[in-house]
Homo-oligomer: A and B are copies of this chain.
Amino acid sequence: MALRSQLLKGVLDACVMAVVEEQPVYGYELSQKLQGIGLPDISDGTIYPVLLRLQKNGFIRGEMRPSASGPNRKYYFLTDEGKAELDQISAEWLEIAKPVSQLLKRGGENEENS
Contacts and interface: CB of A to CB of B under 8 A. Distances in A.
B37 A99 contact: yes
Interface in A88-113: 88-90, 92-107, 112
A63 B14 CA distance: 41
Given A39-B100, A97-B97, A97-B101, A3 B10 contact: yes
Interface in A16-64: 18-19, 21-22, 37-40
15 contacts: A4-B92, A6-B9, A6-B10, A7-B93, A14-B100, A15-B100, A19-B103, A22-B106, A37-B103, A38-B95, A86-B104, A87-B107, A90-B104, A94-B105, A97-B100
Identical subunits present: 2
